[in-house]
């Protein structure tokens, strides 16, 4: 579950001069007053706000903050848990301006780009941890064009927007396929994907399994996309350039300090429920809550699922029960030694149905009986 905290931040920052932990903070310290009128914000590595004592806290930002505009202002620096600078930049009343520089954990420049009016301009240059060039994406025309690419052996594979491209990226959050990485491979023409492209799932031992096949036209537009795991066509492809989560930091969204929230598993459950329930005009303007109990074995496989709190709309409960019983895996609970154990989970959430009959399952939360 993620919480929008912008209004909360406005209220609290307005009283930073007399800052103190209060009941309205819900026991979470997401930011604190720093020296010289600055504010220190606490993030996980995906740039979601977390409590400063949370195990998943990995980034601290020190910056000015304009309460009236609910926005960062001036120069800022982000530090990792070892106190090493990982990102520097400048905001003008919330808009990114000027040079932004990110750094690998070893202090080597990771990427660098200039922003104007909150948009990247010119070349966005990426580098490997040893400092060698990796990728250049040009934004002169407003759309990112890959102009140069070097593989890990230092060979330039894309020159002036033309060549072959093969790049491995991590999944940011939980995926039901069980692979930590995916690899995009294909041709680049005039800075854009062209012709036949593939996506491979990649495990920790670099074993690859074909995941998708795609065809792009001369304008870089996807004309055919097929997911081999799901046996279906699609129209929106995975990214071909590194994603940057630092922009999440400007949205001021927090996450509870649980692994299910941090890993994105709760968001995955929401997405799975929303995908299963199509829009139905017979159900409109509904606010409801639900919960179910699931017992897990040590591998995280569910053994028994029962609805604790059914939906008030009885006609939906049979289908809800069918959908949750089709979820094949939950993260297992751990004992004090970090070993997986059998446990029982209570999954609760909310359902909002719009005037058009669109279902939105949200605010999911998992409580574990044997693990705090």
- Are 138 and 158 in a shared domain? no
- Are 109 and 40 in a shared domain? yes
- Are 105 and 120 in a shared domain? yes
Q: Roughly how many angstroms between the first and final C-alpha of the chain, as a whole number? A: 17
- Are 164 and 282 in a shared domain? no
* Count of domains forming the chain: 3
Contact 136, 158 (CB under 8 A): no
- Are 221 and 333 in a shared domain? no
DSSP state of 315: H
- Are 11 and 121 in a shared domain? yes
- Are 21 and 92 in a shared domain? yes
Among 208, 224, 257, where does a domain finish? 257
- Are 66 and 128 in a shared domain? yes
Query: Rounded to an integer, what is the distance from CA 327 to the centroid of its chain?
Result: 21
Q: Six-digit token pair at 225? A: 């996309």
- Are 8 and 137 in a shared domain? yes
Full domain range(s) for residue 57? 1-144+241-257
- If you write DSSP's letter for every residue of 186-224 in order, what string do you get? EEEETTEEEEEEEEEEE-TT--EEEEEEEEE-TTS-EEE
- Taking only the tens of pLDDT, the chain with its 372 residues reads 455 454 445 445 544 533 433 333 456 899 999 998 999 999 999 999 999 999 999 999 999 999 998 999 999 999 999 999 999 999 999 999 999 999 999 999 999 999 999 999 999 999 999 999 999 999 998 889 999 999 999 999 999 999 999 999 999 999 888 899 999 999 999 999 999 999 999 999 999 999 999 999 999 999 999 999 989 999 999 899 998 899 999 999 999 999 999 999 999 999 999 999 988 888 888 899 999 999 999 999 999 999 999 999 888 999 999 999 999 999 999 999 989 999 999 999 999 999 999 999 999 999 999 986
- Are 1 and 101 in a shared domain? yes
- Are 70 and 182 in a shared domain? no
User: What sections of the chain are H helices per DSSP?
Assistant: 6-13, 259-262, 265-276, 314-324
Separation in Å, CA 171 to CA 46, 153, 203, 208, 263: 12, 23, 11, 15, 10
Among 223, 257, 291, where does a domain finish? 257
Of 127, 84, 81, 76, residue with least CA distance to 100? 76
- Are 162 and 309 in a shared domain? no
């Amino acid at each position: 579950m993620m919480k929008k905290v912008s209004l909360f931040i406005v209220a609290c920052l307005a009283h930073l001069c007399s800052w103190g932990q209060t009941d309205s903070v819900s026991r979470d310290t997401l930011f604190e007053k720093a020296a010289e009128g600055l504010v220190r914000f606490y993030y996980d590595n995906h740039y979601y706000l977390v409590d400063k004592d949370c195990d998943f806290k990995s980034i601290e930002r020190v910056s000015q903050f304009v309460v009236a505009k609910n926005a960062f202002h001036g120069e800022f620096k982000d530090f990792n848990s070892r106190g090493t600078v990982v990102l520097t930049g400048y905001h003008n009343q919330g808009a990114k301006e000027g040079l932004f520089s990110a750094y690998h954990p070893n202090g080597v420049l990771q990427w660098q780009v200039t922003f104007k009016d909150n948009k990247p301009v010119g070349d966005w240059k990426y580098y490997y941890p040893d400092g060698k060039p990796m990728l250049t994406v040009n934004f002169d025309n407003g759309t990112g064009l890959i102009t140069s690419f070097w593989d890990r052996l230092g060979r330039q594979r894309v020159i002036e927007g033309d060549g072959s491209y093969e790049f491995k990226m991590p999944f940011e959050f939980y995926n039901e396929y069980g692979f930590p990485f995916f690899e995009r491979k294909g041709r680049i023409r005039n800075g854009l994907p062209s012709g036949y492209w593939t996506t491979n799932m990649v495990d920790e031992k670099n074993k690859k399994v074909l995941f998708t096949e795609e065809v792009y036209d001369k304008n870089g537009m996807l004309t055919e996309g097929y997911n081999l795991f799901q046996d279906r066509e699609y129209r929106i492809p995975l990214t071909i350039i590194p994603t940057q989560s630092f922009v999440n930091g400007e949205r001021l969204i927090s996450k509870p300090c649980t692994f299910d929230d941090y890993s994105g598993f709760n968001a995955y459950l929401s997405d799975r429920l929303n995908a299963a329930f199509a829009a139905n005009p017979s159900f409109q303007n509904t606010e409801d809550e639900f919960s179910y109990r699931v017992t897990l074995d040590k591998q995280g496989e569910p053994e028994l699922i029962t609805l604790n709190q059914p939906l008030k709309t009885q006609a939906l409960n049979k289908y809800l029960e069918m959908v949750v019983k089709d979820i094949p895996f939950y993260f297992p609970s751990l004992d004090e030694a970090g070993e997986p154990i059998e446990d029982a989970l209570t999954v609760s959430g909310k359902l909002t149905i719009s005037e058009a009959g669109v279902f939105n399952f949200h605010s999911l939360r998992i409580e574990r009986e044997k693990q705090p």
